[in-house]
């Protein structure tokens, strides 16, 4: 199988795919290399992780430090290259209601197929870290209503996330998710349930598609695809799996070079350099150069 993203045909819209049987699995992508790699593998969707994108772009924690401009530029780069529908983390909408409308229009114009908006109070934090606070439910309902009104196409999906579980309990999180559904959200995202039983309660509570956030090492158990389908989930994101794998591998490689002064004898498995150049589409560069060479 080639690594080139040009190897597969245009997929269904995300809305269409969600109407079909089976779980939609969306791995996290955090930079253009991870985007290219995942895009070539035939997933139904990709998830532009806020945690990973802020980490790779700014080297900072996911704590409300990235701006709308930081993130919409990343959306434009990723969606412009991907053939797979891209779901993009929009945090809290980067401000008040006018900002939410601007963010939704900007993400949609940049090529994302869905935006995730959450009900955290500023400054927002990663959903699997402590100290998260939420805004009043009425404030988030207005955000969802504004987001629905601002989009240009119904095929641009609004994902409503609540972070109420950790501080206020599952009942409050379910109450909020129901309010967000009535406000017009297309997908509901109850963040950080802490057991399979809690996930089952969420799965039985709603008719709208439900998103499961599978954070390796986080607060929510990471379950198999059949388990998630059985619990009632329709979309599963794996936001940091690839980032954790990549950073672990880089740490091992850097440590070996620091210890031995060379990569000779490195035990860490490496992608073949030729495969990396193919992934980055160097063959297209070589073909261009051959076509426009001074001499045939």
- pLDDT digits 0-9 by tens, 93-121: 999 999 999 999 999 999 999 999 999 98
Q: What CATH number corresponds to the domain at position 126?
A: 3.20.20.60
pLDDT tens readout for residues 56-76: 999 998 888 899 999 999 999
What integer pLDDT is reported at residue 7 of this predicted model?
A: 43
**Which pLDDT band, with edges at 50, 70 and 90, does 296 fall under?**
low
Q: What is the mean pLDDT of the chain?
A: 92
Name the residue range of residue 137's domain: 10-246
Q: Work out how many domains the chain is built from and give that number.
A: 1
Contact 28, 243 (CB under 8 A): yes
What integer pLDDT is reported at residue 129 of this predicted model?
A: 67
What integer pLDDT is reported at residue 295 of this predicted model?
A: 66
**Which pLDDT band, with edges at 50, 70 and 90, does 2 fall under?**
very low
Is residue 35 one of the residues assigned to a domain? yes
Q: Where are the beta strands (DSSP E) in 139-240?
A: 157-162, 187-190, 211-213, 235-238
Out of 39-43, 140-144, 160-164, 267-271, pick the least confident: 267-271
Is residue 143 one of the residues assigned to a domain? yes
Which of 65, 116, 62 is closest to 86 using CA atoms?
116
Q: What is the pTM of this model?
A: 0.91
| pLDDT at position 126 over 90 | no
CA dihedral 155, 83, 74, 33 (to 10 degrees): 150
**Which pLDDT band, with edges at 50, 70 and 90, does 3 fall under?**
very low
Is residue 2 one of the residues assigned to a domain? no
Is the sign of the CA dihedral 86, 87, 88, 93 positive or negative?
positive
Is residue 296 one of the residues assigned to a domain? no
CA dihedral 226, 227, 229, 233 (to 10 degrees): -150
Is residue 286 one of the residues assigned to a domain? no
What integer pLDDT is reported at residue 63 of this predicted model?
A: 85
**Which pLDDT band, with edges at 50, 70 and 90, does 141 fall under?**
very high
| pLDDT at position 294 over 90 | no
Place of tokens 């990663």: 126
Residue range 8-37: mean pLDDT, rounded: 89
Report the alpha-carbon angle 193-204-180, nearest 5.
70
Is residue 217 one of the residues assigned to a domain? yes
Is residue 105 one of the residues assigned to a domain? yes
Is residue 294 one of the residues assigned to a domain? no
């Amino acid at each position: 199988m080639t690594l080139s993203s040009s190897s597969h045909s245009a997929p269904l819209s995300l809305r269409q795919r969600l109407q079909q049987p089976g779980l939609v699995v969306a791995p996290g992508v955090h930079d253009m290399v991870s985007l290219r790699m995942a895009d070539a593998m035939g997933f139904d969707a990709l998830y532009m992780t806020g945690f990973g994108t802020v980490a790779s772009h700014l080297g900072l924690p996911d704590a409300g430090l990235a701006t709308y401009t930081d993130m919409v530029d990343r959306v434009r780069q990723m969606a412009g290259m991907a053939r797979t529908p891209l779901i993009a983390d929009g945090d809290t909408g980067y401000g008040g209601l006018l900002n939410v409308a601007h963010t939704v229009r900007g993400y949609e114009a940049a090529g994302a197929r869905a935006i995730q908006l959450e009900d955290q109070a500023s400054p927002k934090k990663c959903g699997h870290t402590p100290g998260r606070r939420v805004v009043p439910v009425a404030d988030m309902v207005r955000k969802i209503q504004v987001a629905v009104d601002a989009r240009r196409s119904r095929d641009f999906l609004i994902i409503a996330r609540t972070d109420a579980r950790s501080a206020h309990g599952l009942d409050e999180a379910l109450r909020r998710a129901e309010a967000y559904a009535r406000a017009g959200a297309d997908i509901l995202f109850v963040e950080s349930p802490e057991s399979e039983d809690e996930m089952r309660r969420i799965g039985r509570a709603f008719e709208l598609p439900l998103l499961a956030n599978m954070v390796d090492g986080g607060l929510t158990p990471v379950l198999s695809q059949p388990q998630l389908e059985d619990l009632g989930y329709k979309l599963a994101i794996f936001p940091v799996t690839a980032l954790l794998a990549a950073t672990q591998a880089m740490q091992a490689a850097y440590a070996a070079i620091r210890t031995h002064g060379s990569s000779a004898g490195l035990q860490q498995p490496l992608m073949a350099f030729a495969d990396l150049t193919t992934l980055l589409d160097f063959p297209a560069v070589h073909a261009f150069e051959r076509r426009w060479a001074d001499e045939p």
